[in-house]
Structure 1
């Protein structure tokens, strides 16, 4: 039997060792030297931020705000999360208040400072709950928000709503859809909630919202006229050959690139802005209808607890702007009754 001759290896005959790059990084050579064009390693702190953003049910605008504010904080501090203490967060708030400037060179408003602090509070609360082995104590607990006057409700007047309904009559292809859209928005839904609605979310009388900003399901009763408008819109789509099932989107896009697909968050904003232009209402946006709905509920005399349940407001303070107007209107009416005059309509 012929024996296999053993091979003699030396350093010259061995192939070069190649390290497999991760995430597009340029590989190291055997001495561990990297090319000058090396992509720096991902900040592990930012990885946690991305996980936080993915794990929370955030509306598009809220996600952008959180991402911007958390990125700003990480650029300010090089400390790892477990090294942070309340004094560091207090210094960061001072930085936002005293040093940071807008593009116009002005100090940040109290609302902008609060947005940055609120984003940090939400993130570190999540970190303490999700990774207690990394950060056991929330460093933002002692950091207070700036005191900001409660903004008034930006409700539409009855005259402005009449102009909205008239503007819808001027639309072409999107008339039926946008009419149904305004009817739904006029029942207090957020734009992000409308995006998620399916045909099965509407039972002919109520809208069911399984996944809302407050993480609680919500039932929204529609007025008779609104129910009929939504039914007519769905019937029109069926007449045009669309096969609807419970998972079909309730609102669909008419954009050439997305025709027939679910109407997006930005699609809703674009549709409402167009209606605002036709109605000659400056800065009309989807939330205008939510403000109007909440205000009307209070003016109708609905119990604020019931009104909050219908609108899905998370905090009493956020809803207070609507109860304030209701109380003011009631006080004015009581005054005119007391002096024997009719309140101005």
Structure 2
């Protein structure tokens, strides 16, 4: 039976006692509910995280890639399949004209290239891994800025002598750090050394299954370096450590990580300490790699063989070392031509 509006009971308004106390409570409850609501995760960033996990990146490279990809996603709201070369060209202009350093200076060409290289690497990966999401790489037509090739940061013979002398001043870490410098002086990157296990060393060669170029590499060691490394492992075994093929080749002496795998930052800290003792300002692991590559060419090793030993994929990047060897050869040829001894 349908009721008329007049037949409905009257609405009664009930006064809210202590409303000054109750209303703020209700407001706080509503605010609490709102606080629990977070913005949905950007699906594009999930792919970036997957990319970072799937690549064997050194810590510094990972940090750079993460920073540059985050900056790019903050610049555009477009999804990956909506991007085209024109957008990447505009982004490069944005980096060049609008982005400033902490000192409020424009980005250098090298910094712009680092940002573009991070994008190129990511889009190459996502096009290969998820062709259903993006079929065409929008970075293919984007060129890097032209910058002069930086000179090799090689150590001189005199500086290397100071490094070997500094190792003798070390205490607890002397044997480990001596072995570390011997390995570094064969051109290995710090990130590659972190991954080495006892099984990576067969008594003569170091085997690197995972490298920056994603190609395995064999590194032959000099006899004195082989002896130092074998003695280092022997001493650890004598001290009671059970070594097997998966045991880290280099271990930490830090109080919080005693006996664990020596980290990337641990290698940098050890080399920095050696540099202080040797009186070499800002000594870093990569300088040993530069020294090794330069020395190979000065010894007359074929550049293609030298690149294989160092694991350089780019012939252009390796050019900095050939410039030094060519200059040395030209100087020697000049003195031979005029009949003087180069040492005079």
User: Hey, what does 2:286 align to over in structure 1?
Assistant: 287
Please state if 1:225 is matched with 2:251.
no
User: Hey, what does 2:193 align to over in structure 1?
Assistant: 194
Shift of 1:344: 3.5
Give a deviation string over 1:199-234, Cα, whole Å, max 9, x none.
Answer: 111111111111111111111111111011001111
- The alignment yields a C-alpha RMSD, in angstroms, of 1.2
Q: 1:126 and 1:216 mapped to 2: Cα distance?
A: 17
Larger radius of gyration: 2
User: Hey, what does 2:210 align to over in structure 1?
Assistant: 211
User: Hey, what does 2:172 align to over in structure 1?
Assistant: 173
Q: 1:319 and 1:86 mapped to 2: Cα distance?
A: 29
User: Hey, what does 2:135 align to over in structure 1?
Assistant: 136
Report runs of 4+ in structure 1 exceeding 4 Å deviation: none
User: Hey, what does 1:127 align to over in structure 2?
Assistant: 126
Q: 1:75 and 1:271 mapped to 2: Cα distance?
A: 37
Q: 1:325 and 1:293 mapped to 2: Cα distance?
A: 12
User: Hey, what does 2:145 align to over in structure 1?
Assistant: 146
Please state if 1:234 is matched with 2:233.
yes
SS at match of 1:35: helix
Shift of 1:68: 0.5
Q: Which has the higher helix share?
A: 2
TM-score, with length taken from structure 1 = 0.89
User: Hey, what does 1:79 align to over in structure 2?
Assistant: 78
Shift of 1:176: 0.3
Give a deviation string over 1:80-105, Cα, whole Å, max 9, x none.
Answer: 11111111111100010011000001
SS at match of 1:219: strand
User: Hey, what does 1:260 align to over in structure 2?
Assistant: 259
Shift of 1:35: 1.6
Distance 1:300-1:37 versus aligned 2 partners, 3 A rule: same
User: Hey, what does 2:268 align to over in structure 1?
Assistant: 269
Shift of 1:324: 0.9
TM-score, with length taken from structure 2 = 0.89
Q: 1:141 and 1:105 mapped to 2: Cα distance?
A: 30
User: Hey, what does 1:100 align to over in structure 2?
Assistant: 99
Q: Which runs of 5+ in 2 are unaligned?
A: 1-32
User: Hey, what does 1:5 align to over in structure 2?
Assistant: none
Shift of 1:37: 4.5
SS at match of 2:34: coil
SS at match of 1:247: coil
Give a deviation string over 1:231-267, Cα, whole Å, max 9, x none.
Answer: 1111111111111111111110000011011111110
Q: 2:71 and 2:134 mapped to 1: Cα distance?
A: 20
Give a deviation string over 1:64-86, Cα, whole Å, max 9, x none.
Answer: 11101000000111111111111
Give a deviation string over 1:131-174, Cα, whole Å, max 9, x none.
Answer: 11111111111111000100000000000000000100000000
User: Hey, what does 2:313 align to over in structure 1?
Assistant: 314
User: Hey, what does 2:24 align to over in structure 1?
Assistant: none
Q: 2:181 and 2:126 mapped to 1: Cα distance?
A: 39
Shift of 1:59: 1.3
User: Hey, what does 1:342 align to over in structure 2?
Assistant: 341
Q: Which runs of 5+ in 1 are unaligned?
A: 1-33
User: Hey, what does 2:3 align to over in structure 1?
Assistant: none
Please state if 1:325 is matched with 2:324.
yes
User: Hey, what does 1:20 align to over in structure 2?
Assistant: none
